[in-house]
């Protein structure tokens, strides 16, 4: 099973580039930028990763971004992730970035996006990892800030495939961002939003995603299972879900394997992703392997999750068909 997962050609649709920051790179960047870290070694950093819910994770995630200062830093962050992706046979990625996590510290939008974009270009040419970037808005900031960042992004529209919504969901409903997501749609961007697991008002938030925002897919979305009509609507609209099992184990103490299996059983395009692998200590292969080892997922189920990811990727129909054909060829060989 491990070899089957490792060699499987995969797509990742829910990974925050800032969440791929490994402790070793954190130290390297801190040294480069003459920043004092409150830790003596990378091991001490990992030992401090004591998350038990979304706020306790975010309280460590945002301050750590302070080591990212220059275009080269963002390039190195993104390239380190793409190298990991290549090593794990991840051939296609739609990564998130959080510009407000940087502009609020005085790092310009241009610095962030130029560094990431340069790494995307090199990763495709040198590693064969193709990617399309999604800009996330921080939902615990106001809608005016989100709108201002969408304006900053307009000169770079060709470098973006979509917009997303992340950070602390409590009392920050999708409706707060209806106007800015409407504008993003007018600009030709795809729309997704986090519906984090077991958050306050999560079911009404999910309905807003569907009926008010008109999202193209949903990040996480486990709580659809709390409302039968919501499951039906997600199925009827063929909305994909980008689920993150190891992240869920940290945030809600549940790998959510049974829930993922229920989505698959109902023909919903659930996928598996790493979310913040530098923090949760698991990339794509570790997430799929956790489902196999801890929730008895079969090869067929792992293959279906992977097929779903290519099916809901924001690529042309021709590219999608090619990715799916490559996957089928692998599955035929692996039998």
Binding site for Zn ion (CB under 5 A): 275
CB of 238 to ligand ADE, least distance (A): 24
Residues near ligand ADE (CB under 6 A) = 16, 19, 54, 61, 166-167, 194, 196, 247, 275-276
CA distance 10 to 291: 15
Q: Which residue is nearest to Zn ion (CB)?
A: 275
Q: Are 179 and 137 in contact, with CB atoms under 8 Å apart?
A: no
CA distance 221 to 232: 13
Strand 133-138 relative to strand 270-272: parallel, antiparallel, unpaired?
unpaired
CB of 246 to Zn ion, least distance (A): 12
Which of 268, 314, 308, 313 has its CA nearest to residue 288? 308
Q: How open is the CA angle 168-255-25, to the nearest 5 degrees?
A: 65
CB of 96 to ligand ADE, least distance (A): 8
The 3-state DSSP class for residue 81 equals: helix
Q: Which is nearer to ligand ADE, 12 or 196 (CB)?
A: 196
The DSSP 8-state label assigned to residue 53 in this structure reads: S
The item of ligand ADE, Zn ion, none sharing an interface with residue 167, based on CB under 5 to 8 Å by kind, is: ligand ADE
The 3-state DSSP class for residue 250 equals: helix
CB of 104 to ligand ADE, least distance (A): 15
Q: Which is nearer to ligand ADE, 46 or 324 (CB)?
A: 46
Q: Which is nearer to ligand ADE, 94 or 196 (CB)?
A: 196
The item of ligand ADE, Zn ion, none sharing an interface with residue 19, based on CB under 5 to 8 Å by kind, is: ligand ADE
CB of 18 to ligand ADE, least distance (A): 7
Q: Which is nearer to Zn ion, 275 or 301 (CB)?
A: 275
Query: And the tokens for 84?
Result: 């990991």
């Amino acid at each position: 099973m491990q070899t089957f997962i490792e060699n499987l050609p995969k797509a990742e649709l829910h990974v925050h580039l800032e969440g791929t920051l490994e402790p070793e790179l954190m130290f390297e960047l801190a040294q480069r930028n003459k920043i004092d870290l409150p830790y003596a070694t990378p091991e001490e950093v990992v030992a401090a990763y004591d998350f038990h819910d979304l706020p306790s994770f975010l309280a460590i995630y945002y301050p750590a971004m302070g080591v990212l200062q220059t275009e080269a830093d963002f390039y190195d962050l993104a390239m380190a992730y793409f190298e990991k992706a290549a090593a794990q046979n991840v051939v296609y990625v739609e990564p998130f970035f959080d510009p407000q996590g940087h502009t609020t510290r005085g790092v310009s939008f241009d610095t962030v996006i130029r560094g990431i974009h340069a790494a995307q270009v090199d990763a495709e040419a040198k590693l064969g990892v193709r990617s399309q970037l999604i800009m996330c808005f921080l939902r615990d900031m106001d809608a005016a800030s989100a709108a201002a960042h969408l304006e900053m992004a307009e000169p770079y529209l060709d470098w973006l495939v979509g917009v997303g919504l992340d950070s602390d969901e409590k009392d920050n409903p999708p409706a707060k961002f209806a106007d800015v997501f409407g504008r993003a749609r007018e600009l030709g961007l795809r729309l997704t939003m986090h519906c984090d697991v077991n958050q306050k008002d999560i079911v009404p938030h999910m309905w807003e995603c569907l009926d008010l925002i008109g999202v193209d897919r949903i990040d996480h979305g486990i709580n659809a299972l709390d409302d039968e009509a919501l499951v039906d609507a997600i199925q009827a609209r063929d909305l994909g879900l980008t689920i993150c099992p190891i992240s869920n184990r940290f945030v809600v103490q549940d790998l959510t394997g049974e829930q993922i299996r229920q989505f698959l059983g109902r023909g919903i395009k659930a996928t598996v992703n790493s979310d913040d692998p530098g923090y949760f200590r698991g990339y794509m292969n570790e997430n799929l392997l956790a489902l196999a080892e801890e929730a008895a997922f079969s090869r067929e189920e792992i293959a279906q999750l992977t097929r779903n990811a290519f099916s809901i990727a924001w690529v042309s129909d021709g590219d999608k068909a090619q990715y799916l054909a490559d996957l089928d060829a692998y599955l035929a060989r692996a039998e």
